């Protein structure tokens, strides 16, 4: 029976692909991947480039998910892309869909899976987890995401940040994802919230790529606008 598999390709380094992901990608008839525009590369696809056997006739289909917060535009693309995906499986092909990190953390896979399982309840669908970017970052920078009784909050920075101060009061560790270009506002809010100046402040950008940047300082030491320029950025702020 043909199958659809959502695959987490990890944070960028092909050595961090799981064995299961490599096998599924190499055995697929069709490899699908997200991109923000037609003329932009798919980051998820670039992660697996070295493990794809180019002599095999695997079809590669790029699906466009525009970077917008307009719900109407987003929903239209989810519906259209999930239709394209489902049609490939219904035609008898084994299809994999690649996504950065893990498929169940802020990933387009979530919408694909929801649409397709609603419209095609009998379709065989499975998921292969991937290494989450924030855990890769924790390993690189040598900090724990949580220990003992610590509470962790994960916050997407590109949306309404009005609750950050309240969350900061009730968490020992804050992980900010989704767009480092908003981190200036985040830093200001954390300082206003009274989060201690001696807290660990660690930022990782473009992890697993040749442009990777990792910085570890304290919240009190941060006064540097150059830290906050990249979409692919993770910020971990932790009480000591």
Binding residues vs ligand SAM (CB under 6 A): 11-12, 100-102, 105-107, 132-133, 177-179, 204-208, 231-234
For ligand SAM, which is the closer residue by CB, 87 or 224?
A: 224
For ligand SAM, which is the closer residue by CB, 53 or 210?
A: 210
Closest approach, Cβ 226 to ligand SAM, in A, equals 16
Closest approach, Cβ 7 to ligand SAM, in A, equals 11
Q: In the 8-state DSSP scheme, what is residue 101?
A: B
- Spatial strand order in the sheet of 200-205: 152-156, 173-177, 233-238, 200-205, 213-218
**How far apart, in whole angstroms, are the C-alpha atoms of residue 211 and residue 228?**
14
For ligand SAM, which is the closer residue by CB, 54 or 71?
A: 71
Closest approach, Cβ 139 to ligand SAM, in A, equals 13
Closest approach, Cβ 106 to ligand SAM, in A, equals 4
Locate all alpha helices (DSSP H) within 28-163, ordered by sequence: 43-48, 71-90, 108-119, 133-141
Name the residue number minimizing CB distance to ligand SAM.
101
Closest approach, Cβ 39 to ligand SAM, in A, equals 20
The set of residues, in sequence order, having a beta carbon less than 8 Å from that of 236 and lying 6+ positions away, is: 134, 137, 138, 141, 143, 145, 173, 174, 175, 176, 200, 201, 202, 203
Closest to 7 measured CA to CA, from 23, 35, 177: 23
For ligand SAM, which is the closer residue by CB, 185 or 198?
A: 185
**How far apart, in whole angstroms, are the C-alpha atoms of residue 206 and residue 234?**
9
For ligand SAM, which is the closer residue by CB, 61 or 214?
A: 214
């Amino acid at each position: 029976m043909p199958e659809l598999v959502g695959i987490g390709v990890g944070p960028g380094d092909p050595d961090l692909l799981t064995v299961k992901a490599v096998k599924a990608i190499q055995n697929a008839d069709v490899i699908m991947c997200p991109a923000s525009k037609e003329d932009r590369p798919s980051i998820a696809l670039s992660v697996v480039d070295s493990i794809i056997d180019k002599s095999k006739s695997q079809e590669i289909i790029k699906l466009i998910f525009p970077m917008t917060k307009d719900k109407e535009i987003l929903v239209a693309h989810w519906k259209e892309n999930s239709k394209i995906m489902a049609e490939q499986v219904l035609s008898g092909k084994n299809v994999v869909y690649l996504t950065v990190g893990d498929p169940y953390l802020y990933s387009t896979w979530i919408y694909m899976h929801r649409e397709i399982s609603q419209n095609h309840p009998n379709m065989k669908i499975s998921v292969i987890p991937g290494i989450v970017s924030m855990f890769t970052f924790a390993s690189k920078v040598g900090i724990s995401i949580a220990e003992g009784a610590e509470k962790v909050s994960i916050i997407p920075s590109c949306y309404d940040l009005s609750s950050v101060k309240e969350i900061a009061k009730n968490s020992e560790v804050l992980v900010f994802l989704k767009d480092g270009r908003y981190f200036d506002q985040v830093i200001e809010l954390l300082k206003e919230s009274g989060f201690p100046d001696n807290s660990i402040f660690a930022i990782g950008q473009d992890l697993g790529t040749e442009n990777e940047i990792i910085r570890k300082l304290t919240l009190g030491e941060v006064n540097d606008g150059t830290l906050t320029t990249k979409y692919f950025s993770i910020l971990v702020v932790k009480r000591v």
